[in-house]
A and B are shown apart, each in its own frame.
Chain A
Amino acid sequence: GAVVSQHPSRVICKSGTSVKIECRSLDFQATTMFWYRQFPKQSLMLMATSNEGSKATYEQGVEKDKFLINHASLTLSTLTVTSAHPEDSSFYICSARGRVNTEAFFGQGTRLTVV
């Protein structure tokens, strides 16, 4: 299947700082990317959907000013957690879909720890 690379796999940051997570589709053009958040031993909660060149669509309850999503190219989307707090600590996962490959492929996830 297609490959989606997410970076970094782990990050620790201090409260109040911002962290950027990258999601790249390595061998296909991702017209749509999704960002999920997963708390320990829980399911994936969709945070937002982004289409290349458009503003992201956020799910209800997700602060768009805190979780900035950029999808500037067909192979890259970024999630920036701004002014991070300990409660933002979580596992963040992206997935991507392309024009031809309608199946969603998932990145390996990023474990964010805010101290």
Chain B
Amino acid sequence: AQSVTQLGSHVSVSEGALVLLRCNYSSSVPPYLFWYVQYPNQGLQLLLKYTSAATLVKGINGFEAEFKKSETSFHLTKPSAHMSDAAEYFCAVEAGGYNKLIFGAGTRLAVHP
């Protein structure tokens, strides 16, 4: 079975600071991994995805994530936070192809001036 653990339900950073949102996964088969962002009362927008190609994945809005098999991790980073990055972020795993997604609990990112 697949599962996702997001460490830290709330993360607060200063504008311009590094953003690091942690995600660890469990999967019995090579996983596909995703990061989504959700703004209040809205659906989810895909930030980036790992599908067994390059381990360093670049996404939209300056975000990137690195797949580390040895650590079963897929942490999301951004060098410099913007106020507009404040939102809820979800890591998700899917095993063996494009089937259903299993989401982590989410991390709420706050960015303060």
Contact = CB atoms under 8 A, between A and B. Distances in A.
Given A93-B44, A108-B42, A44 B98 contact: no
A103 B46 contact: yes
Interface in A83-102: 91, 93, 95, 97, 102
B49 A103 contact: yes
A43 B104 contact: yes
A54 interface: no
A6 B106 CA distance: 22
Secondary structure type dominating chain A contacts? strand
Interface centre among B36, B100, B103 (most CB of A within 10 A): B100
Contact of B103 (A41, A44, A91, A111): A44
B14 interface: no
A56 B8 CA distance: 34
A107 B43 contact: yes
Interface size on A, as a range, is 20 to 34
Contact of B90 (A44, A46, A49, A108): A44
Nearest to B45: A106
B87 interface: no
B103 A104 contact: no
B86 interface: no
B105 A34 contact: no
Given A34-B100, A97-B98, A103-B98, A42 B105 contact: yes
B100 A42 contact: no
Interface of A: 1, 4, 6, 9, 34, 41-44, 46, 49, 91, 93, 95, 97, 102-109, 111
24 contacts: A34-B100, A41-B108, A42-B105, A43-B103, A46-B100, A46-B102, A93-B43, A93-B44, A95-B43, A95-B44, A95-B101, A97-B98, A102-B97, A103-B49, A104-B101, A106-B36, A106-B43, A106-B44, A106-B45, A107-B43, A108-B43, A109-B42, A109-B43, A111-B41
